[in-house]
Amino acid sequence: MKIEKNSVVELDYQLMDTDGKVWESSKEGGPWVYLHGHGEVMPGLEGELTGKAIGQKIRVELGPEEAYGPYEDDLRTEVPREAFAEVENLTEGMRLAAEGSDGVHAVIVREIRDDIVVIDANHPLAGKAVKVEVKVLSVRKGTDEEIAHGHAHQDGSCGH
Ligand SMILES: [Zn+2]
């Protein structure tokens, strides 16, 4: 069976930056299962997958707009250093969980200047092109319920 609209597709995947560093892969999180043709996958990849079958591999390079979006300067904030009094060995490049009014965000410490710390809440791959390599593991027809919901159900249901 070839991948077409409303197919449920299972993929082995690897997400890399343009230097070839692996950021995410199915080796850690398990295969990626999605409903084809419903915008669940980055558009540049979804287009390439149409018509493919089990065992086929695809490698695509996606620009920032198709991957994690542009880098947003607004997401860089200067915070007084005393806010990090409890963090040991605060260093540039360190990743922290910052508590904001709308929940906890992963941030990166970009710069430490005297009494100011610049934190950055952009995704580490924001503004960057990425490479995605996938291999098709299985293809099946989506159920009526999956098609109605617009996503794949891995264990029979998604709870709604
Ligand atoms: Zn559902």
Please give the domain boundaries of the chain with CATH numbers for all domains.
7-68+126-149 (3.10.50.40), 73-120 (2.40.10.330)
The gap from C-alpha 108 to its chain's centroid, in whole angstroms, comes to: 17
Tell me the per-residue pLDDT of 68-91, one tens digit each, with 9 for 90 and over: 889 999 999 999 999 888 888 999
Which residues on adjacent β-strands are paired with residue 78? 118
Bridge partner list, 146: none
Q: What is the pLDDT of residue 100?
A: 73
According to the model, what pLDDT value does residue 43 have?
Answer: 80
Q: What tens digit of pLDDT does each residue of 91-121 get?
A: 999 999 877 777 887 899 999 998 999 999 9
Q: Which helix (H) or strand (E) holds 112?
A: strand 103-113
Q: How many angstroms separate the alpha carbon of residue 152 from the centre of ligand 1?
A: 7
With a pLDDT cut of 70, the percent of the chain lying above it is 98
How many A from CA of 92 to the centre of ligand 1? Answer: 41
75/35 Cα distance (integer angstroms): 32
Question: Dihedral, CA atoms, 82, 88, 92, 93, nearest 10 degrees?
Answer: -130
Q: Give the model's pLDDT for residue 5.
A: 97
Whole-number Å distance, alpha carbon 24 to ligand 1 midpoint, is: 24
Rounded Cα–Cα distance for residues 103 and 51 (Å): 41
Q: Cα(42) to centroid of ligand 1, in Å? A: 19
Answer whether residue 126 shows pLDDT above 80: yes
Ligand 1: distance of its center to the CA of 145 in Å? 7
Per-residue pLDDT at 47 exceeds 80 = yes
